[in-house]
Amino acid sequence: MTDGQTMHTLPGSSQFPTTRWSLVVAAGDPRPKKARSALVSLCENYWYPLYAYLRRRGYSADQAQDLTQEFFVRVLEGRYLDRADPEKGRFRSFILTSLKFFVADEGDRDRAQKRGGGTVEPLEFPSGEERYQREPAHDETPERIFERRWALSVIDRVVEKLREEFVHHGRPEHFERLKVFLLGQSDTPYAALAREINTSEGALKVAIHRLRKRYRELFRQEIADTVADPTEVESELRFLAAVLSKK
């Protein structure tokens, strides 16, 4: 999903089960295979906000690439994880704070000039630099650009999960036609779209309702994976909504 297609609305409030496993808690103990696997996945999906942060800090594309790659190697090796407090905090804040510690360490910065090594999967840096070149040219702080990119990455991740579910059920073309109703960009009348996808207008409305409901469920799950306490889901949702509302 491109930046121009990304929705700027977040799900409404509802209580999320308190048994949801949190990646912040897992980050505090890198030994379990489940924790490491989930942490790897999170790093792969949310590396771009850190890359954009480093670019806005003044690092060149090559430097930001090297630092981001090396930083994730260190995180996945278990370093910096002792800074994660399982009792409170959000993975968003933890990962940015850890990166700041990392780049402040002159030795780590020097070693980051050697790309490669470690076990992190290759990240899509060429596309990352293309995305960064489309960032607003005005004076956004590194922290502000990180927060916005994090919020948009959450949304993109959720929409991709939705797409995968449609693919799994053999209906990828339906998702491509219906996702505009999530993005708030559709001016196509329901009746016309229903004819295009060979269904009734009533069935189309039901499908759109279910799509939006599933989006809200997946969104809350994604947020729950990045907070230490399920009760913090609501405040994180409000934070992300505020970030996206700022111009």
What is the distance between the alpha carbons of residues 119 and 212, in angstroms, rounded to a whole number?
37
A 10 A CB-CB count for 80 gives 18
Mean pLDDT value across residues 176-195: 82
Inform me whether the pLDDT recorded for 14 exceeds 50. no
Q: What's this model's pTM, rounded to 2 decimal places?
A: 0.75
154-183 mean pLDDT:
89
The torsion defined by the Cα of 24, 27, 28 and 30, in degrees rounded to 10, comes to: 160
Q: Which stretches of 105-141 are DSSP H helices?
A: 106-111, 125-133
Q: Percentage of the chain surpassing pLDDT 90?
A: 30
DSSP per-residue codes, 137-186: -S---HHHHHHHHHHHHHHHHHHHHHHHHHHHTT-HHHHHHHTHHHHT--
Q: What is the mean pLDDT of the chain?
A: 77
**What are the distances in angstroms from CA 72 to CA 42, 65, 95, 115?**
11, 11, 10, 12
Which residues, in sequence order, are CB contacts of 182 under 8 Å at separation 6+?
Answer: 7, 159, 162, 211, 212, 215
Q: Write out the two tokens for 26.
A: 């897992």
Q: In DSSP terms, which residues pair with 227 in a beta bridge?
A: 90
- pLDDT category, 7, cuts 50, 70, 90? very low
Q: Which of 91-95, 147-151, 211-215 has the lowest mean pLDDT?
A: 91-95
What pLDDT is recorded for position 85? 53
The pLDDT of residue 84: 52
* Number of helices followed by number of strands (H, E) in the chain: 13, 0
Tokens, residue 40: 């790897």
Structure tokens at 240: 């992300």
Task: Find the angle CA(107)-CA(112)-CA(113) to the nearest 5 degrees.
Answer: 110
How large is the greatest C-alpha to C-alpha distance in the chain, in angstroms?
64
Residue 126's pLDDT is what? 63
